[in-house]
Chains A and B, each alone.
Chain A
């Protein structure tokens, strides 16, 4: 018998009586009086920055020192002035090793944990999100939910594909519990929440 069949057989033989799946909808999950304010607070608590952008994006980006200083900039958001890498021409993700700044669009933000839903639609190279030294995430102000339960009702998970909750910059506390921002991935993460109309 194959390993697969043997394992499945053993699990069937061992299985307890059927237990029903609980109704997750019954959970009265936490909601906030001001979802945008809570989201902004959460982003800061997870080590990021949150900026509410009323007008155009570029001045808000330019106000980020790391963006201003960046030489190699990748953007998956159209119209970013400093973007100078054509991702469609990149065949090997290793070529993105020296990216200084990356601008990514997010489809949804979660107030309870500051997480942004970022989808790799396959057109771009997802390595840029992790190799970049600094990151900005652009999120529409009306794409905010209170908690993860609501979030999973709203998102579509790409398959085949890749998507993630990104909550602040890369971090570690593996040396004596001291929080250090910038372990392997982005050293900073700015979430730009744009006006709803844009």
Chain B
């Protein structure tokens, strides 16, 4: 069994929990639909977002140079990292030079992708994730299961137990309000004690050299307003040409993510605070390779809203951890094989290719087409399990020969129900028709 299927099997073993998760995630998809319905120009916005990203990607090097120039002029230091390792070393270098041993972080999928926390902890830095969901999974020593709602896989009772163990809340406390209050007090202390704050970047503006960070909790703002060092980590693809384009993406992002019209805090950072320093780390980590591949290029348009996760029937029923990567769901499944095709060869198959992901994507990424393209490519590279390869081979052989198609069709109508089939593990096989479609059709034509 492939890894995703094996991990998903563990997840679906608890039927009640599976349905609870499915509904919880679908609830967010519904909120997205409602928010969308208040924006009559929604489809036009999606097209604009997609085109702005296409334009920016087509001259990314120029925009990055412009961004760097303007960021420096605003007083920020700009660093470049070819890959995850270089990114981690740069961040650690900044911390070491400034004697920082206590770092607060707001959400950054890039640093998840680079495994920055583990790296820094091994160097003796205390790293505290300050987004509530991220703090919860960090205390459990597990990765986020969702890029917007990191702890969506957990029940409030489990979080209550975790907080009882780690934060000393009363045993049995499971009220979200009280648990959030406990986390607020705990993380306030961490904010006040931090020597540096690290944030992700939602958008970087080439014409002004600034970065925009969106949160609902205000954790990126507390983490950068208190300590004297702000480190902002961004992938090369985060650029927009100028502020007016921000309007398009900000209108799309939160509505697609959680159904909100905008996040509570949308912060525009240009350079450091007075008497403080700001470092921007620009990371490639495989993105230039994706840009070079025409069929996958569009995936770099992603603004990490997670709408494709929320709508995906496979994600909802298998949970984020089953993907084994920082970014789960359809977008994760098209990104991960670029990094390591062998390790993540199973992910493009973790989809029904229903296309719902492409339908909700705010920047119109052709996700299901990319998933299909990957399948072909991975098969050509021999990275698909033998069983799948044999089945496809046989299928191709049969479909190419009319006599074989008829013969095996007949066999299937008689024997299909007796053949062990993983598909029927949680479903009933519909009763087989007595006659083939072909035979039924012929009868109908004759009867006319």
Contacts and interface: CB of A to CB of B under 8 A. Distances in A.
Which label, helix, strand, loop or mixed, suits the secondary structure of the B interface?
Answer: helix
Interface in B142-175: 149-152, 154-156, 159
Contacts of A12: 61
Nearest to A165: B266
Contact of B132 (A22, A172, A185): A172
Interface in A121-163: 122, 125-127, 129-131, 147-149, 151-153, 155, 157-163
A4 B71 CA distance: 15
B222 to A, nearest CB: 5
B246 interface: yes
A175 B264 contact: no
B429 interface: no
Interface stretch (A61-69, A99-107, A110-118): A110-118
Contacts of B221: 126, 129-130, 164, 185
Contacts of B241: 21
A184 interface: yes
A76 to B, nearest CB: 14
Contacts of B177: 178, 180
A186 interface: yes
B208 A157 contact: yes
A84 to B, nearest CB: 21
A157 B270 contact: yes
Query: Which of A7, A93, A169 has its CB near the most chain B CB atoms (within 10 A)?
Result: A7
A3 B247 CA distance: 32
B176 A8 contact: no
Interface residues of A, number: 78
Contacts of A114: 261-262
B268 A164 contact: yes
Contact of B222 (A10, A20, A185): A185
B265 interface: yes
A122 B274 contact: yes
B41 interface: yes
A93 B176 contact: no
A183 B219 contact: yes
B180 interface: yes
B216 interface: yes
A151 B226 CA distance: 29
Contacts of A34: none
Contact of A178 (B81, B176, B187, B225): B176
A115 to B, nearest CB: 5
B57 interface: yes
B176 A3 contact: no
Interface residues on B, range: 35 or more
A162 B251 contact: no
Interface stretch (A23-31, A52-60, A190-198): A23-31
B64 interface: yes
Contacts of B187: 184
A29 B41 contact: yes
A167 B255 CA distance: 13
Contacts of B48: 22, 24, 27
A37 B166 CA distance: 46
B436 interface: no
Given A19-B58, A183-B216, A11 B244 contact: no
A127 B247 CA distance: 26
A17 interface: yes
A3 B80 contact: yes
B114 interface: no
A21 B261 CA distance: 25
A21 B225 contact: no
Nearest to B132: A174
Contacts of B447: none
A24 B75 contact: no
B97 interface: no
Interface of A: 2-4, 6-8, 10-22, 24, 27-30, 42, 45-47, 93-94, 97, 110, 112-115, 122, 125-127, 129-131, 147-149, 151-153, 155, 157-178, 180, 182-186
Interface of B: 24, 27-28, 38-41, 44-45, 47-48, 51-52, 54-55, 57-61, 64-65, 68, 70, 73-75, 80-82, 86, 130-133, 136, 149-152, 154-156, 159, 176-177, 179-181, 183-184, 187-188, 191-192, 208-210, 216-219, 221-222, 225-226, 236, 241, 243-248, 250-251, 258, 260-274, 282, 284, 288-289, 291-292, 294, 297
Shortest 9 CB-CB contacts between residues of A and residues of B: A185-B218, A160-B271, A113-B261, A174-B133, A14-B292, A183-B217, A159-B270, A10-B288, A178-B176
17 contacts: A6-B82, A7-B236, A7-B284, A7-B288, A12-B61, A21-B51, A22-B47, A27-B41, A28-B44, A114-B261, A161-B270, A162-B270, A164-B265, A167-B264, A171-B216, A173-B216, A183-B132
